[in-house]
């Protein structure tokens, strides 16, 4: 039995309409399928249905086979033609939810002699002081088993999987039954619940278990595969569903492992986030405005967690080591991001000192606010652009509020790290264009993908490397993987029609890398021409962050439009001191004469060739070094937004000539 019709569902079969359609299909015993453009999927799978991307006015066929096939086809066609008739509003979740376990919260404080008195020491990763309650974030690691199942273990493993899925669904039902759940959140939870119950996803997982994989491995693989399918659809809404699939996969894995998720979204106002390690993406999407300070067992001053913390003016002490375990049971923590010190459950004397320093910092912030709208200039009238380093569009508002004169470094890694799949060319083009529009007429410098080292990406298969920082990262990986690099270059060419987009390459150590990239840009432009897609050429620059690039800077300067000195990596490579290793943190010092000489050599090569020389490493925001960088000839300093007002003040004090902001000056 089958019938065709034109879809009249206004939003298409996305989200809620897809949920309703699947619920209706499941109410019939018959096998039910929906066909669009020659592609057939089960009408009982919301994942497959969403992937079919059915839009309003599309022609589809509904096909059913079974005892109630006629009723099924009639009801489903009826819904597609008149979606507002016949279905109740309440959504799909009506079963009673079983009682839920208590959320995991830190235990009662246990005084620990090691954390009293002098306090603990770590790496001073983001300045500022803060005193606040502890929010312990120690999420479970999901480690798939390396062993295959024996044939007699398979049925038990499938039972375990079904129980885990049921537990996740029950938890989501309980959330949906809560009347306090906001409308937007309700839609998200309902969509997640549908995914957890999806028959094709569950079918894929069970098939892997029957091949001998343990349930956790099977869930991880099936979620990655489905997420990749969502990622490949030319539809930004559906691209974002990939995150939902990943989130559900993680929930099922945690249930299989008998663990609860600690949700960063519930962090209380002014809390100190204490973690052994935290992913840059997890921190970036946390409610940063509520986080008072960050303390981590791992990480160094130029790790990406430190960079995000500095961007948002959140004090951070990282690289505390195993001692972080003792902190998770404290009630309150005082964090000194200048000195890299932490006091668990501080006594009255320390509390008073911190309270006094917090109020002084507040006064300084107010005083610096006056510098936000000034354009700093050198004695000869040259504008020194004080720009922002950003990692996502969510940070634009804070950067503009801080007085950013454009973006000197847009790290594109988060775009790639936030999904298990590669971001599409369209999605990237939209992101870069949104960035360009937000800062026009100031320029935005987008850095091409810089992964490897401390920034792995799930969708890219990285080899195990003995020394990842000396390995296959940045431009090296991109040139070896044109299927990853070309969509990014094309997206940048498309965004360049806004006129203020520039592009720079990370980890350059050989001039050939620049020449090969230029050839690839030409190839991308020719392909866009053939496809009739609008684009514009962009200025290409390089980051100077390897000693090799410093030594060939005069030759590089003839090939590119600008230099941007990446002091985070340059320091670790010049000093041979790992930027993530707290034990060599003292050597990892940009002010060391060896690193300052490398910066000076770069500046001289750029100035002599007449190209712009800027800096986007964290040193660009250091008040003690800014005067020397300006003297060397740097005309752009790009930094964490929170450092911008003070940097402008330092430059303004160099030559007390301030003028009102005129964005046109800076282009």
Contacts to ligand PEP by CB under 6 A? 302, 409, 411, 450, 545, 566-569, 616-617
Distances (CA, A) of 82 to 42, 56, 421: 21, 12, 36
| Minimum CB distance to Mg ion, residue 506 (Å) | 6
Transcribe 205-256 into DSSP letters.
HHHHHHTT--HHHHHHHHHHHHHHHHHHSS-HHHHHHHHHHHHHHHHHHHHH
* 578 touching Mg ion, by CB under 5 A: no
| Minimum CB distance to Mg ion, residue 567 (Å) | 9
| Minimum CB distance to ligand PEP, residue 568 (Å) | 3
Structure tokens at 57: 């006015």
Q: Which of residues 12-41 bind Mg ion (CB under 5 A)?
A: none
Q: Which helix (H) or strand (E) holds 343?
A: strand 341-344
Residue 616 touches which of ligand PEP, Mg ion, none (Cβ within 5-8 Å per kind): ligand PEP
Whole-angstrom Cα distance, residue 272 to residue 126?
13
Exposure string of 146-158, with b = 16+ CB inside 10 Å and e = fewer, is: eeebeeeebeebb
- Please report where in the chains the tokens 């939209």 appear, as a residue: 430
Q: Which of residues 528-557 bind Mg ion (CB under 5 A)?
A: 545
Residue closer to Mg ion (CB basis): 126 or 572: 572
Residue closer to ligand PEP (CB basis): 119 or 617: 617
Name residues whose C-beta falls within 8 Å of residue 6's C-beta, 6 or more positions apart in sequence: 57, 58, 59, 81
CB 634 within 8 A of CB 602: no
304 is catalytic: yes
Catalytic residue among 130, 137, 304, 421: 304
Count of chain residues binding Mg ion (CB under 5 A): 3
Whole-angstrom Cα distance, residue 61 to residue 36?
7
Residue closer to ligand PEP (CB basis): 458 or 640: 640
Q: Let me know the angle formed at the C-alpha of 192 by 53 and 105, rounded to the nearest 5 degrees.
A: 155
Residue closer to ligand PEP (CB basis): 345 or 545: 545
Distances (CA, A) of 339 to 112, 313, 634: 22, 16, 29
Residue closer to ligand PEP (CB basis): 310 or 341: 310
Residue 411 touches which of ligand PEP, Mg ion, none (Cβ within 5-8 Å per kind): ligand PEP
Residue closer to Mg ion (CB basis): 28 or 281: 281
Residue 617 touches which of Mg ion, ligand PEP, none (Cβ within 5-8 Å per kind): ligand PEP
* 566 touching Mg ion, by CB under 5 A: yes
> Does residue 152 have a cis bond before it (omega within 30 degrees)?
no
524 is catalytic: no
Whole-angstrom Cα distance, residue 396 to residue 427?
18
| Minimum CB distance to Mg ion, residue 569 (Å) | 4
Whole-angstrom Cα distance, residue 205 to residue 255?
15
Q: Let me know the angle formed at the C-alpha of 385 by 380 and 386, rounded to the nearest 5 degrees.
A: 130
Q: Which helix (H) or strand (E) holds 291?
A: strand 291-296
Cβ–Cβ contacts within 10 Å for residue 597, how many? 12
Residue closer to ligand PEP (CB basis): 276 or 569: 569
| Minimum CB distance to ligand PEP, residue 566 (Å) | 3
x/- mask, Mg ion, residues 98-117, rule CB under 5 A, reads --------------------
Residue 578 touches which of Mg ion, ligand PEP, none (Cβ within 5-8 Å per kind): none
Tell me the residue nearest to Mg ion as measured from the CB: 569
Catalytic residue among 253, 296, 524, 616: 616
Binding piece for Mg ion, criterion CB under 5 A, among 104-112, 277-285, 557-565, 568-576: 568-576
Chain-centre distance of CA 218, in angstroms? 25
Under DSSP, the state recorded for 455 is B
Tell which one of 559, 569, 618, 636 touches Mg ion (CB under 5 A): 569
| Minimum CB distance to Mg ion, residue 386 (Å) | 20
Chain-centre distance of CA 527, in angstroms? 30
| Minimum CB distance to Mg ion, residue 170 (Å) | 45
Residues annotated as catalytic are: 304, 616
Query: Can you give the binding site for Mg ion, defined by CB under 5 A?
Result: 545, 566, 569
């Amino acid at each position: 039995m089958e019938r065709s019709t034109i879809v009249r569902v206004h939003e298409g079969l996305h989200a809620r309409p897809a949920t309703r359609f699947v619920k209706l299909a499941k109410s019939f015993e018959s096998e039910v399928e929906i066909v669009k453009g020659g592609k057939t999927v089960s009408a009982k799978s919301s994942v497959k249905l969403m992937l079919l991307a059915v839009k309003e006015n599309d022609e589809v066929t509904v096909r059913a086979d079974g005892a109630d096939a006629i009723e099924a086809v009639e009801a489903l066609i009826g819904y597609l033609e008149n979606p507002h008739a016949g279905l109740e509003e309440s959504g799909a979740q009506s079963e009673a939810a079983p009682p839920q376990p208590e959320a995991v919260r830190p235990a009662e404080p246990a005084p620990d002699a090691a954390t009293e008195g002098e306090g603990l020491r770590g790496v001073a990763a983001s300045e500022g002081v803060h005193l606040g309650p502890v929010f312990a974030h120690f999420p479970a690691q999901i480690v798939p088993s390396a062993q295959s199942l024996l044939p007699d273990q398979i049925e038990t493993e499938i039972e375990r999987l079904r129980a885990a899925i049921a537990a996740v669904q029950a938890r989501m039902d309980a959330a949906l039954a809560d009347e306090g759940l906001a409308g937007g959140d309700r839609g998200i939870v309902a969509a997640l619940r549908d995914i957890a119950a999806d028959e094709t996803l569950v079918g894929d997982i069970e098939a892997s278990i029957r091949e001998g994989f343990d349930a956790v491995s099977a869930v991880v693989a099936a979620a990655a595969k489905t997420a990749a399918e969502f990622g490949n659809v030319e539809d930004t809404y559906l691209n974002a569903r990939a995150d939902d699939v990943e989130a559900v996969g993680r929930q099922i894995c945690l249930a299989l492992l008998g663990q609860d998720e600690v949700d960063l979204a519930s962090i209380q106002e002014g809390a100190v986030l204490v973690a052994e390690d935290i992913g840059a993406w997890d921190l970036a999407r946390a409610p940063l405005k509520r986080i008072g300070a960050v303390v981590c067992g791992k990480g160094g001053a130029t790790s990406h967690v430190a960079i995000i913390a500095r961007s948002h003016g959140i004090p951070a002490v990282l690289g505390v080591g195993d001692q972080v375990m003792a902190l998770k049971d404290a009630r309150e923590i005082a964090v000194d991001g200048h000195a890299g010190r932490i006091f668990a459950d501080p006594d009255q004397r320390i509390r008073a000192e911190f309270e006094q320093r917090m109020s002084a910092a507040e006064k300084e912030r107010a005083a610096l606010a006056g510098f936000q709208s000034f354009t700093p200039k050198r004695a000869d009238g040259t504008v020194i652009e004080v720009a922002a380093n950003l990692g996502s569009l969510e940070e634009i508002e804070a950067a503009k509020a801080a007085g950013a004169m454009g973006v000197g470094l847009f790290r594109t890694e988060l775009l790639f790290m936030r999904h298990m799949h590669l971001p599409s060319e369209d999605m990237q083009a939209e992101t870069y264009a949104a960035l360009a529009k937000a800062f026009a007429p100031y320029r935005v410098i987008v850095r091409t993908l810089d992964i490897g080292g401390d920034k792995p990406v799930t969708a890219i298969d990285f080899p195990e490397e003995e020394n990842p920082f000396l390995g296959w990262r940045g431009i090296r990986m991109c040139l070896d993987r044109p299927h990853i690099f070309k969509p990014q270059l094309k997206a940048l060419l498309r965004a360049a029609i806004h006129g203020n987009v520039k592009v720079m390459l990370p980890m350059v150590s050989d001039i050939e890398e620049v020449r090969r990239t230029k050839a690839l840009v030409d190839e991308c432009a020719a392909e866009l021409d053939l496809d009739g897609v609008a684009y514009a050429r962009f200025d290409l620059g390089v980051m100077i962050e390897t000693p090799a690039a410093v030594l060939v800077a005069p030759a590089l300067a003839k090939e590119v439009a600008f230099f941007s000195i990446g002091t985070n990596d340059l320091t670790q490579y010049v000093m041979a001191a790992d930027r993530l290793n707290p034990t060599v943190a003292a050597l990892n010092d940009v002010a060391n004469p060896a690193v300052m000489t490398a910066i000076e050599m770069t500046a001289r090569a750029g100035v002599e060739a007449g190209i712009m020389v800027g800096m986007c490493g964290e040193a660009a925001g250091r008040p003690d070094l800014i005067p020397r960088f300006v003297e060397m000839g740097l005309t752009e300093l790009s930094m964490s937004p929170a450092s911008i007002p003070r940097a402008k003040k330092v430059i303004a004090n160099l030559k007390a000539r301030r003028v009102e902001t005129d964005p046109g000056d800076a282009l």
